[in-house]
Amino acid sequence: MPAVSFGYKATWLAVRDGSAGVVADALELPERRTVGWHDGVDAAYRGELLITAPVDGWTFAVTAPGHALPDLSDAGFAEWFGKLSARLGTVRCFVTHRVVELHGWARAELGRVERVYCYLGERGEVLADIGQRTADEVGGEPDEDDVLRLAGLWSVNPAELDGRDVPGDCLVAGRPPESRWRTGWPRR
């Protein structure tokens, strides 16, 4: 099935070596439906959560910023992200939103959060800065292209997916209740 690119004005997880079903289970998504890439990406930009078939060993969970995944700047994000990584192993998170110049990234391995960084350009404010800056990161004020470049180094750049043949189904789910991730969701 031909893939569809995303990444601009989006929040996404990249999970190493997990199927769409495994990722959906870890996110405790109650209702899911099978979709193709085009319909799934459209749903993600409307605020639903798309979980893709694996691409080069990485499964994406993507939505519009502020919708079906927690914000990197949320006080509970690092705890949530660490628990998710404890369930899934290698997990990355990225966000871009050019209107307010919100750009961020996070990485975790086997439950250990290595890095969380989130920058809000419209206020010139770093909203989150956890862990040591990596050699792959840009200095100064990041932009959406920096986030996508970093995604390509740490997983797969989702802006380069158009037309790639990716076997397997994608899933779309509605937004999980906010209380799940604001209080330490997912459960162990």
DSSP string, 84-148: HHHHHSEEEEEEEETTTTEEEEEEEETTEEEEEEEEETTTTEEEEEESPPPTTSPSSS--HHHHH
For range 158-184, the mean pLDDT: 76
Query: Residue 66: which pLDDT band, with cuts at 50, 70 and 90?
Result: confident
Residue 171 pLDDT greater than 50, yes or no: yes
Predicted local distance difference test score (pLDDT) of residue 139:
80
Note the pLDDT tens digit of each residue in 112-160: 999 999 999 999 999 999 999 999 998 889 999 999 999 999 999 999 9
Domain range annotation of the chain? 10-173
Predicted local distance difference test score (pLDDT) of residue 119:
96
Note the pLDDT tens digit of each residue in 75-92: 999 999 999 999 999 999
